[in-house]
Structure 1
Amino acid sequence: MIQVWSWPTPNGHKVHIALEELELPYEVVPVNIGAGEQFKPEFLAITPNHRIPAIVDDDAPGGPLSLFESGAILIYLAEKTGKLMPTSPAARYHCLQWLMFQMGGVGPMFGQYGHFANYAVEKLPYAIERYTNEVARLHRVLEAQLAKTKWLAGDSYSIADIATFPWIRNPERRNIDLAAYPNVKRWHDSIAARPAVERGVAVLAENQRKGAMTPEEREVMFGAKQFAAR
């Protein structure tokens, strides 16, 4: 059984979707990041970076294995099952390069946009403009790739698609109209319609924040507690 320590965020949804696609049995351990549960000792024992998601696989080759970082988890699950990642060297590296594109570009840049545009108390025009432009640029990169290929890494649906999709969902949160990126929209809609994806994004959906962040949540997420030595 795989334990998934998670919360309904794009990074959490990546792993939920992969587990559903791979039909692996798993148990969800909710980690309420707005309430500070990511700082509890039992979670820090799995991930010293106190970020979701993390997994513990009791059935890992060689014995129980704990992993943090969503990209590493996706690679592990793909290699454990022999699915969702090509095995030929060139195709495998194409898949990994698009996974790294998400990990190093899409996730961090979209996250920075979300912080400065939606959560920061002081609205800094320079920061908002910078990340607005970067979000649009990354959509253009995806559009160019998906004009040439059905899926991000080629002809096969893979962990690169699973990693990127949750960040493209809900484009209105980033002031993006997917109609301006028709190949991204085609790709997004194809993934959203997959039954395993529908199940994956439903995991912990009842805990999705509704409305504005409370002062207590803001302190936990962005205040001194976030940066305290542990």
Structure 2
Amino acid sequence: MAKPIRVWMAPPGPNPWKVIVVLEELGVPYEINSCKFADVKKPPFTNLNPNGRYPAIEDPNTGLVLWESGAIIQYVIEQYDTEKKLTYADLIQKHKLNQWLMFQMSGQGPYFGQAGWFNVLHHEKIQSAIDRYNAEAKRIIGVLEGALEGKQWLVGDKMTFADLSFVTWNDRFDATIMCEREKMFDGFPNVKAWHERMTGLPSWKRAMEKRAQLMDEQGLQWNGMPKGVNNMKEYEELMKKHAAAQAAAAKGE
């Protein structure tokens, strides 16, 4: 039996959970090394990922250390999806899957992330930035809506890693563009039905239960901020207070 893959993550971010959902769906053993976001830019994590972004994995079965969630997903599929549950052997379909994964990595993730930042986390409201990234996030959803017309999945006749790569960010679409959750896919019925098919999976539910537990252990809200903190300005002030308290403690005051 394979040894567990170690997944390094901070629990708030969507990208680590893309990997977890794929591992859950395939039944690949794993263990989570839950880190604080403040530790992402320093050792020991930067010894694994010099870019300082979660997630990264250590696979004791092959000795591989790997970062970038898309690359990790491709590796897990190639190494552990021997029954082709979430992929295809066919050349054309296989590359279509990678195409959609690249679109998730280059389109959905960055644009959703920027929309979420300027809507929720940035201490100053910059309407031009909010408008731009909200529009881009909706455009991404529109691309997916068209691709799903007349079918249930992005490629072929079954759910694949390409579909699963979108689910964690799509699940935050309401918070990303600041709309009511029940209305977040209004005008995008294909995306809505597709998303509901995936969030109804036992693998998704198990992953989100683990996320909730890890978030609670770190005293975090859904958006990664400490409980009681509402924006980046308040967060920075809290960090300054912590730094001052640590400095005072070091001096014995």
Q: CA deviation at 1:171?
A: 2.7
> Which residue in 1 is equivalent to 2:135?
133
**Could you tell me how far 1:189 is from its partner in structure 2?**
0.4
Q: In structure 1, what is the Cα distance between the partners aligned to 2:167 and 2:196?
A: 10
Higher relative contact order (CA 8 A, sep 6+): 1
Counterpart for residue 70 of structure 1: 69
The structure whose Rg is larger is 2
Equivalent residues in 2 for 1:1-230, closer than 5 Å = 1-8=4-11, 9-33=13-37, 36-60=38-62, 64-81=63-80, 82=82, 83=84, 84-173=86-175, 174-175=177-178, 177-208=184-215, 209-210=220-221, 211=227, 212-213=230-231, 215=233, 217-218=235-236
Amino acid corresponding to residue 40 of structure 2 in structure 1: Q
1:216 and 1:181 mapped to 2: Cα distance? Answer: 35
Q: What's the offset of the Cα at 1:41?
A: 1.2
Aligned-partner Cα distance in 2 for 1:22–1:113: 32
Q: CA deviation at 1:196?
A: 0.9
Contact 1:7–1:204 (8 Å) recurs in 2 = no
Measure the CA separation in 1 of the matches of 2:28 and 2:231: 34
**TM superposition shift of 1:157:** 1.0
Cα distance in 1 for residues equivalent to 2:10 and 2:154: 26
Separation in 1, partners of 2:238, 2:92: 43
Name the counterpart of 2:250: none
Cα distance in 2 for residues equivalent to 1:158 and 1:219? 43
Counterparts of 1:218 and 1:163, CA distance in 2: 32
Specify every segment of 5 or more residues in structure 1 that has no aligned partner in the other structure, as ranges. Answer: 222-230
| 1:200 shift after superposition | 1.6
- SS of equivalent residue, structure 2 residue 6: strand
State the match for 1:227 in structure 2.
none
For 1:68, the aligned partner's letter is W
| Contact preservation (8 Å) 2:123, 2:232 | no
Whole-angstrom distance in 2 between the partners of 1:24 and 1:57: 11
Q: TM-score, normalised by structure 1?
A: 0.87
Alpha-carbon spacing, 1:156–1:150, altered in 2? closer, same or farther (3 Å): same
Against the structure 1 CA distance between its residues 19 and 220, is the aligned structure 2 distance closer, same or farther, given a 3 Å change threshold? Answer: farther
C-alpha separation in 2, matches of 1:195 and 1:88: 28
The CA deviation at 1:19 is 0.9
Q: TM-score when scaled to structure 2?
A: 0.80
Larger CA deviation: 152-161 vs 131-140: 152-161
Give 3-state SS (helix, strand or coil) of 1:123's partner: coil
Residues 124, 90 of structure 1: alpha-carbon distance in 2 compared, 3 angstrom cutoff: same
Contact 1:31–1:52 under 8 Å retained in 2 = no
| Cα distance, 1:14 vs structure 2 | 0.3
Q: Judge conservation of contact 2:148–2:191 (CA < 8 Å) in 1.
A: yes
Deviation at 1:99, TM superposition (A): 0.4
Name the CA distance, whole Å, in 2 between partners of 1:219 and 1:10: 25
- Does structure 2 conserve the Cα–Cα contact (< 8 Å) formed by 1:16 and 1:203? no
The RMSD of aligned alpha carbons is: 2.0
